Amino acid sequence: MWSNRGAGLLAAAALLLALWQAAAWAARSTVLPGPVEVAPTLAHALFAGTLGQHLAISSYRVAVGIVLATGVALPLGLLVGHSPSLYRLSSPLVYLTYPVPKIVLLPVLLMFLGVGDASKVAILFLILFYQVLIVIRDAAHGVPSELVESVRSLGAGPLALLRYVFLPVSAPALLSALRISVGTAIAVLFFVESFGTTSGLGFYILVEGWGRLAYREMYAGVVTMALLGMALYFALELLERRTCRWVKVS
Amino acid sequence: MIEVRDLTFAYGRGKPVFQRFNWTVAQGESWSVIGPSGCGKTTLLYLLAGLRVPHSGSVTVGGRPLVGPRLSTGLILQHYGLLPWATAFDNVVLGMKVRGVGAGARRRTTEGWMTRLGIEHVRHHYPSQLSGGQRQRVAIARTLALEPDLLLMDEPFSSLDALTREEMQDMVLALRLEGRVTTVLVTHSVEEALLLGRNILVLGQPPIATARVIANPGGGQEGYRTAPAFHEFGQEVRKCVQEARAGVV
């Protein structure tokens, strides 16, 4: 099954590269170099140039955003989901603030946190935090009381309940929420790295590439950012498959 | 074994389910609790398990007033309460893990009970991959692995098909006959109440202050299912339940 899927993915990647190359040949323009031209630039920029550093900085920002959002939203979601009164109290608040596109808060964050890493991580945090909070809250809320009571009757205290009931029930919800929202997070990262900064993939693509008419470098940056998104998506999917085998069989 | 004294309990500010209710169960006895649905059978079991706290009065189990779940009380619920994300083996081992039993002893006890109950071959299956009877066996193995002296069961066989149900009832009978475990079984089935309880507690409509007790000397014996007394008592219990439902206690 894996080899089939792997072969399918390879074929799809080859098809996309071929389409890109065909488009490049058809356009005959410096604005659209094909993968054949971009690949050497990518390799050079990554290993000899500065692209590697920009990738590291962007990855760092995303990673800190994920860790912070999970670290805050997971306990909070479990608490709110487990307590009927907190659930009732917080529901209208979440309902009202959830649809607000978090990116519009960027100017506010920039004013308070400055243009450095803090504001960038904060905006990623906000986007991921809400997704995680809601799914964890609902997962905890949906645990049948019979399950909780029967585990309590085995002698489980609050810590054992957390370990054997609430954390396992949250794992699939957490991982799929992260997997779905990490794409949005990277899109937003691109945007916030496009001004007021001198580091990150967004800066590399827009300033070092596009701004200097260095189109090959620009495409190298685009490919790197796409690969970063894919790597995170696949890593989360793999983790989900490892830890949540029971979801598949039920 | 169980002393219920002047027990009063209500959910939130609703009307009381029990009001100054008294009941005694001696060690080694087997009781069936029967009554119309919504009468408080499950609530009684949760109170005995220490999962609910009385508003007033007391529940004493094994000589000590309950303040929370008691370690040597086993509880088996209607939908078994198995962890969907854990295999049959991991579900059985859970109680011992929670109590900090060593890994070796844990594995031996779990394997012993799984073999005994005929579920060893599904040890790596998740609950969703098991049949109703197998799930029930996992729940029973998990509880019995903790060597309870009091076994509380809440309609444990209600979602099984007739044949599996009889098989499971016989298994509980066999387990009872070999040990000195006290059992309280909540059921809505007159047959099951007769089969597994030497004493039958018939609950009426809440608020429950008193309840009828029917002695059922043949209960808990093998072969009772086909004895003539089984049918005679069946009629009597049925009449009692109907009266209880109508509010005539």
Position A221 scores a pLDDT of: 96
Q: Which domain holds residue A98?
A: 41-249
| CB spacing of B99 vs A165 below 8 angstroms | no
Compare all CA atoms of chain A with the CA of B99 and give the residue at the minimum distance.
Answer: A155
Position B152 scores a pLDDT of: 94
**Domains in chain A, number:** 1
- Which regions in chain B score pLDDT beneath 70? 248-249
| CB spacing of B51 vs A149 below 8 angstroms | yes
Spell out the SS3 assignment of chain B.
CEEEEEEEECCCCCCCCEEEEEEEECCCCEEEEECCCCCCHHHHHHHHHCCCCCCEEEEEECCEECCCCCCCEEEECCCCCCCCCCCHHHHHHHHHHHCCCCHHHHHHHHHHHHHHCCCHHHCCCCHHHCCHHHHHHHHHHHHHCCCCCEEEEECCCCCCCHHHHHHHHHHHHHHHHHCCCEEEEECCCHHHHHHHCCEEEECCCCCECCCEEEECCCCCCCCHHHCHHHHHHHHHHHHHHHHHHHCCC
| A contacts of B146 (beta carbons < 8 Å) | 154-155
**B-side interface with A, Cβ within 8 Å?**
46, 49-51, 69, 71, 73-86, 94-95, 97-99, 126, 128-129, 139, 142, 146
Q: Give domain status of residue A245, yes or no.
A: yes
Q: Give domain status of residue A22, yes or no.
A: no
Which pLDDT tens digit goes with each residue over B94-131?
Answer: 999 999 899 999 999 999 999 988 899 999 999 999 99
Q: Give domain status of residue A232, yes or no.
A: yes
Q: Give domain status of residue A24, yes or no.
A: no
Position B248 scores a pLDDT of: 61
| CB spacing of B98 vs A150 below 8 angstroms | no
**pTM of the predicted model as reported, rounded to 2 decimal places:** 0.80
Residues of chain B with CATH 3.40.50.300: 2-72+149-246
Compare all CA atoms of chain B with the CA of A244 and give the residue at the minimum distance.
Answer: B85
Position A145 scores a pLDDT of: 87
When scoring A149, A153, A167, A247 by the number of chain B Cβ atoms within 10 A, the one with the most, hence best to mutate, is A153
Position A250 scores a pLDDT of: 61
- Which regions in chain A score pLDDT beneath 50? none
**CATH number of the CATH domain containing A194:** 1.10.3720.10
| B contacts of A241 (beta carbons < 8 Å) | none
Closest Cβ–Cβ partner in B69, B77, B126 for A155: B69
Q: Give domain status of residue A19, yes or no.
A: no
Q: CATH number of the domain at B2-72+149-246, out of 3.40.630.30, 3.40.50.720, 3.40.50.170, 3.40.50.300?
A: 3.40.50.300
Work out the minimum CA distance from A250 to partner chain B, whole angstroms.
5
Cα–Cα distance measured from residue A31 to residue A219, given in angstroms and rounded to the nearest whole number: 10
Position B15 scores a pLDDT of: 87
Position B249 scores a pLDDT of: 52
| CB spacing of B79 vs A144 below 8 angstroms | yes
